[in-house]
């Protein structure tokens, strides 16, 4: 989680930490009550091994040890989850030292269950995931008269609901996400389009115009994904306007400040950095490009990262750090780096800048090793800890995971093992995990934020687990580590969540239509639908539309495809297509994709029942197979003369089946009129079809054409 900042240890905004903006009092209350931490219980399953690596143990992490470490992470998550279940079930968080629940706004929004759900799914903890999902489905409501922080609610709850929906296929989660998205939309009502900080979930009233780039520019992953899943562009458009609006207010040298008034668009803080309050702004520029393929985001990233690397990067005694600078002049203002900044090596690696990523990660590990765990703020020039707290942050683990995945360098698992040992040693409590008041004294705080489950445990687990635990190459993590599926890409979680498969939406290649594909009743078709069917339909739906034009006709802009057990192969009613999952499963390497092309032709045809004379059914189906077998897959030989030769041409009628009709139409287009199919399509849509059209186009009646076609094809008869 980025964007949030903690105050100085004495509760004041110390001048040397002026870039660390305080969280709202309701969020900070957990950090202002200190409780002495308990020693690591002897019963801990990893107590004996919880010794800091800190580079001393440089032995490679074998595949076997990695699996063992992944299991340790899973067991420790269950330890913390058990504490939450026992003492705070249904509440936002557990206070792990006092064993008391805590709700951010006086009423629970189920921060921990929602934030944790996709991690439980990824780890294959089906029992816990099902219980959490049932709680959310049945009891979570956003109809509450409370003001909430838009940024935190978006990254934790909206992101968590969307990710868990994509992993589980539970449509109730998408319904909740859409309901929440609607309640958050009023934040964008400022004159600039930049979002207000807070919104009342019931009334829609907004307040607090004093924001920062992280909160104004880190919403597009979640709101954009909501648009893609619901087909409603309003969420994407508003969040993108806010991101672009933030970018457009950058200085002449390309930097943004750390405070902005959303009503005036004026900067209220002119210090620039990569830390809390700006951090995820950079993150989302790159990730929105990766998730949505939005080139505007790529362009903004390229300009922004160049400025950050020029003015914020600081080579201090041969070590790479990123500090603070004046947004207008680029002059260095401070030399602070902290736990939140440690996400940046991962972002650099993800964007392809491995050299800077490695160097900055080495500095981040050095910061951790100074005290056996990282502080919130370090002066990297003096190595003095400016703020010693540690609220269980995940960022350095996140970067370690990114670098290991992207490079395969075994050193990152060695480093990760050391981080894990330290983390367990100093943060484990009797019924959970507790943040630290000080990384120097190791005194614990009575706080266990939900991002422990969403991020910290997840990144540790993924670092050590086999690659198949989550398909990194087909997802993008939001800033709360909720994996969101890239366009046309599968996500394979370890658990398969009771075999459920989430519906998904693919945009057509011309960006004019969307196709929703639902395999929730046939999860065995999910990977095929995502990897083979979706891309094909995205490319061919516009081509089919172009093949069957008519005046004043616009093809449907949204199509729903559902696979489920049913008779036959497939059927189409309007824009609703259903496929027999049993048949399609048997034809994944055969006719499955082609059969769905046939149905897409029906969607585009939109002939309906016309009076006085309906369009013949044999022609409706024949045109669909003509497009399929003679345009889409001619090499399949499903209706051409190669196929016909295997039949009995002398006994096949031109109107006696889909494929014979397709062959007949191809014959007519080649011998008499190449536009006959287009003309038939126009007449069918107009409801003006008459059989004499054949004579107009060829000089022969339909029956005469049929006899001639049959005579021509009779010579194909096999001896």
* CB atoms inside a 10 Å sphere around CB 589: 9
Kindly state the tokens that stand for 181: 């998205």
User: What are the helix and strand counts (H, E) for the chain?
Assistant: 28, 25
Is the separation of the CB atoms in 460 and 421 below 8 Å? no
* DSSP characters over 667-706: HHHHHT-TTHHHHHHHHHHHT---THHHHHHHSS-HHHHH
Is the separation of the CB atoms in 620 and 654 below 8 Å? no
CA distance 46 to 586: 48
Vertex 222: Cα angle to 495 and 218 (nearest 5)? 130
Query: Which distant-in-sequence residues (6+ apart) come within 8 Å of 99 by Cβ?
Result: 83, 87, 431
Report CA-CA distances (Å) from 326 to 104, 251, 406, 415, 515: 34, 10, 33, 34, 47
CA distance 18 to 12: 10
CA distance 217 to 188: 12
Kindly state the tokens that stand for 498: 């009771």
- The residues annotated with a catalytic role in the active site are 152, 279, 376, 395
Report CA-CA distances (Å) from 169 to 173, 194, 468, 497, 501: 8, 33, 19, 8, 5
CA distance 308 to 311: 5
Residue labelled with tokens 């990114």: 402
Kindly state the tokens that stand for 248: 């457009």
Query: Which distant-in-sequence residues (6+ apart) come within 8 Å of 187 by Cβ?
Result: 150, 195, 196, 197, 198, 199, 206
Of 166, 184, 185, 182, the C-alpha closest to 482 is 166
Kindly state the tokens that stand for 638: 């499903």
Kindly state the tokens that stand for 234: 């309003």
Residue labelled with tokens 């389009």: 193
């Amino acid at each position: 989680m980025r964007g949030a900042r903690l105050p100085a240890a004495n509760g004041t905004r110390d001048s040397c930490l002026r870039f660390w903006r305080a969280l709202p009092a309701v969020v900070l209350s957990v950090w202002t009550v200190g409780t002495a931490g308990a020693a690591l219980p002897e019963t801990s399953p990893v107590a004996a091994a919880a010794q800091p690596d800190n580079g001393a143990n440089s032995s490679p992490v074998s595949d076997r040890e990695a699996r063992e470490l992944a299991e340790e992470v899973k067991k420790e998550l269950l330890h913390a989850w058990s504490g939450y279940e026992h003492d705070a079930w249904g509440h936002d968080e557990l206070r792990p030292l006092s064993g008391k629940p805590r709700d951010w706004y006086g009423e629970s929004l189920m921060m921990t269950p929602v934030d944790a759900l996709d991690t439980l799914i990824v780890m294959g903890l089906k029992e816990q995931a099902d219980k959490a999902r049932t709680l959310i489905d049945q009891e979570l409501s956003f109809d509450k008269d409370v003001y909430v922080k838009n940024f935190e609610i978006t990254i934790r709850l909206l992101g968590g609901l969307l990710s868990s929906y994509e992993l589980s296929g539970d449509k109730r989660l998408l319904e909740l996400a859409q309901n929440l998205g609607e309640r958050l939309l009023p934040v964008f009502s400022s004159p600039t389009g930049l979002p207000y900080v807070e919104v009342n979930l019931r009334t829609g009233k907004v307040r607090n115009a004093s924001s920062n780039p992280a909160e104004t520019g880190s919403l597009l992953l979640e709101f954009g994904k909501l648009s893609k899943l619901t087909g409603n562009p309003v969420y994407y458009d508003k969040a993108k306007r806010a991101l672009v609006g933030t970018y457009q207010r950058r200085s002449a040298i390309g930097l943004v400040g750390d405070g902005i008034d959303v009503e005036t668009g004026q900067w209220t803080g002119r210090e620039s950095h990569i830390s809390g309050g700006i951090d995820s702004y950079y993150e989302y520029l790159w990730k929105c490009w990766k998730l949505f393929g939005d080139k505007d985001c790529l362009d903004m990233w390229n300009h922004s990262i160049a400025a950050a690397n020029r003015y914020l990067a600081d080579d201090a005694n041969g070590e790479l750090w990123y500090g603070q600078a004046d947004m207008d002049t680029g002059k260095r203002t401070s030399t602070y780096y902290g736990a939140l900044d440690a996400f940046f090596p991962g972002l650099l690696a993800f964007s392809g800048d491995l050299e800077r990523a490695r160097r900055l990660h080495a500095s981040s590990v050095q910061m951790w090793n100074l005290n056996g765990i990282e502080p919130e703020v370090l002066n990297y020039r003096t190595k003095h800890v400016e703020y010693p707290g540690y609220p269980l942050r995940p960022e350095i683990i996140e970067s370690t995971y990114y670098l290991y995945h992207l490079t395969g360098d075994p050193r990152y698992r060695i480093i990760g093992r050391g981080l894990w040992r330290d983390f367990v040693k100093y943060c484990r409590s009797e019924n959970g995990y507790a943040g630290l008041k000080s990384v120097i004294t190791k005194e614990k705080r009575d706080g266990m934020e939900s991002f422990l489950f969403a991020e910290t445990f997840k990144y540790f687990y993924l670092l050590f687990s086999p690659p198949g635990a989550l398909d990194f190459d087909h997802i993008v993590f939001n800033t709360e580590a909720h994996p969101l599926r890239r366009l046309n890409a599968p996500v394979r979680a370890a658990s398969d969540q009771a075999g459920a498969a989430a519906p998904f939406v693919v945009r057509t290649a011309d960006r004019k239509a969307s196709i929703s594909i639902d395999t929730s009743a046939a999860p065995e078709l999910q990977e095929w639908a995502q990897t083979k069917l979706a891309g094909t339909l995205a490319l061919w739906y516009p081509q089919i539309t172009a093949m069957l034009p008519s005046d004043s006709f616009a093809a449907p802009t949204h199509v729903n495809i559902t696979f489920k057990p049913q008779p036959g192969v497939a059927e189409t009613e309007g824009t609703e297509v259903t496929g027999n999952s049993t048949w399609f499963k048997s034809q994944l390497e055969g006719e499955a994709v082609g059969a769905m092309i046939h149905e897409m032709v029906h969607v585009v045809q939109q002939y309906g029942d016309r009076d006085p004379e309906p369009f013949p059914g044999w022609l409706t189906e024949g045109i669909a197979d003509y497009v399929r077998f003679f345009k889409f897959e001619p090499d399949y030989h499903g209706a051409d003369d190669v196929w016909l030769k295997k039949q009995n041409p002398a006994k096949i009628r031109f109107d006696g089946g889909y494929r014979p009709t397709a062959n007949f139409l191809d014959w007519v287009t080649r011998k008499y009129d190449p536009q006959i199919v287009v003309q038939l399509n126009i007449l069918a849509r107009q409801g003006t079809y008459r059989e004499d059209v054949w004579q107009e186009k060829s000089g022969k009646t339909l029956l005469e054409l049929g006899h001639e076609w049959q005579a021509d094809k009779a010579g194909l008869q096999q001896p």
